Structure 1
């Protein structure tokens, strides 16, 4: 297939592009290489795919409606995976308009282009952040998610609503994936594992929020990519059992689905840090801090629907995933 991947220089987008190319797909990679974090890391990720004969490297911001439409007109992709977004919960508190412009306006351009150019299936990144103030564990896609705690979370919930509208009005098949704390080699520098590793190796204290009382459903990058590919290959249809009297948020009479994609095994943050210390061979000095605005204490993914519909099965335990990240980090940064 010809598959357009936005955010192709990102953590997940780059790994997904590699896997798609490996199985014989043609990938049109779209990324603006913004400077939210180190552009050199993004360039290094792109170097793994850029020279592949079935990879088309496009430098574009999804906020550019005309430019995005031209890319779809030229390449005519059968399917689209939208991973381009302004990420980060805490960044959204100080820079809200970045989320409006990219996550809302940019996503609207994605939807409209998919409609105009008859894309067979749009898969897009949502987030576990949409669960917000929910405290029922594990988080289920069948639960209400109307109480986000950050604009980032609100923008991802909005993406799901926007996608449903296009599925309903135009019969555009869409699938949203609520990612749960993705980690692993080539990861994002603004994520905890990356920041902890950098600080520990530099002999600097690490900031541990909520006094270390977090639990996170850490999900290894290879398991995430496997799930995305399984979903991409399964074009949703309307759910004949759906009824407006008891509306199920995870499906619809329209060709629309939402799934959690996580490890289904939450890990205590202090245990995660202990695993990292063991892999690095040195102890962390910790600065214990209160819960930060926009953060939630715990995440725990119910992935039963994804397992049932696609056969998804996360296989990487945290001890192995963290060890692989540390090995990559030492090599990449020559530490």
Structure 2
């Protein structure tokens, strides 16, 4: 293929240089790949590792079918950039950017992917692990991820399908604890305003670590950390990963949390004008394909509430008058 041979057109070179200049992070990542190549020239595993890391760095992710593909053109641009960078590293074109100076140690850089309110996204990590990210979530991983440092940081909610590697454990760091696995499927919820961190295990096994505490989790179990203590439970619709398939299935969740989730999924602001409504617990199933108005209409029929549309993206909820 062209990028392995370094057969680059002027247009491709322009793309590459524009990407490098785009941010300090891009520049640091590029020169890390350059230095690694200088240290281990012509090593196939390095080539595979560098290319895998680069593809992931350039946000090789897919938008969910229900989300408009507004960024298709930029995604294609980034794929071209990934190919060009590897082409420069492996081919004759690399002479433009490489020098004979001694290789300097490059510090670890953390790459972050953020998903805004009203959207969900899928991320492919360099090791082949898949991550489905819920609305208003962020995930970070280090530039030496493929060198054995398979540690990621999560703020928000994500579902993981981890690629198994016997000699390299995978871990997810949240604000309350760390989830350590070899290869498995699990969901982690760690929004700050939920006042809890929860892991639901669907397949395999994981270890939850907080300080000196190590707790094992088995398929069908959940572990919640709230108010300074761990609570073990059984997997239910409300703690599974059905949200990644645009199906929301809740079992006895607080009304306050329900409102926060709606705000994230539909990118709206909802004001609850009756504090006593937060005592309500909700159970139900609905699809993300329904509009926020349709969802609130259903709530009016099943709960003692009424709502008012204040603005295009602003709603208020109050207790229904007798």
Q: What TM-score, normalized to structure 2?
A: 0.25
Between structure 1 and structure 2, the one with the greater Rg is 2
Structure with the larger helix share: 1
Q: What TM-score, normalized to structure 1?
A: 0.24
